[in-house]
Amino acid sequence: GAVVSQHPSRVICKSGTSVKIECRSLDFQATTMFWYRQFPKQSLMLMATSNEGSKATYEQGVEKDKFLINHASLTLSTLTVTSAHPEDSSFYICSARGSQETQYFGPGTRLLVL
């Protein structure tokens, strides 16, 4: 099946710094990528949808200036958590969708803000 990678898998940063997370579709072109956030023992919450070459669409309650999403190519989307704070600590997961309906998920990135 299709493979989606995320980098880094784990990151620890100081409060106030910015962190970039990459999501890549390795063997297909992803016209749409999705970013989710998962809290411990809770479900995945969709943060935003990004289409290649256009601005991301954010879900209600998600700060677009804090969570910057770039989808510059058909195989790469990035999520930048700007001026991170401890409450941003979470598990961030991306998914990618190509020509078919099925979404393929990355393994996730665990962010810890000290």
Partner 1 sequence: GDSVTQMEGPVTLSEEAFLTINCTYTATGYPSLFWYVQYPGEGLQLLLKATKADDKGSNKGFEATYRKETTSFHLEKGSVQVSDSAVYFCALTRSGNTGKLIFGQGTTLQVKP
Q: Nearest approach, Cβ of 85 to partner 1 (angstroms)? A: 25
- Nearer residue to partner 1 within complex by CB, 81 or 93: 93
Among 7, 11, 22, 49, binds partner 1 (CB under 8 A): 49
- Nearer residue to partner 1 within complex by CB, 16 or 53: 53
- Nearer residue to partner 1 within complex by CB, 20 or 105: 105
- Nearer residue to partner 1 within complex by CB, 49 or 82: 49
- CA–CA distance, 3 with 12 (Å, rounded to integer): 25
CA nearest 22: which of 98, 92, 112?
A: 92
- 79 to 98, contacts with partner 1 by CB under 8 A? 93, 95, 97
Q: Does 54 bind partner 1 (CB under 8 A)?
A: no
- Residues 6+ away with beta carbon under 8 Å from 101: none
For residue 14, give the amino acid letter.
Answer: K
Q: Where are the beta strands (DSSP E) in 1-114?
A: 4-7, 10-13, 19-25, 32-38, 44-51, 57-58, 67-73, 76-81, 90-97, 103-105, 109-113
Contact positions toward partner 1, by CB under 8 A? 1, 4, 6, 32, 34, 41-44, 46, 49, 93, 95, 97, 101-108
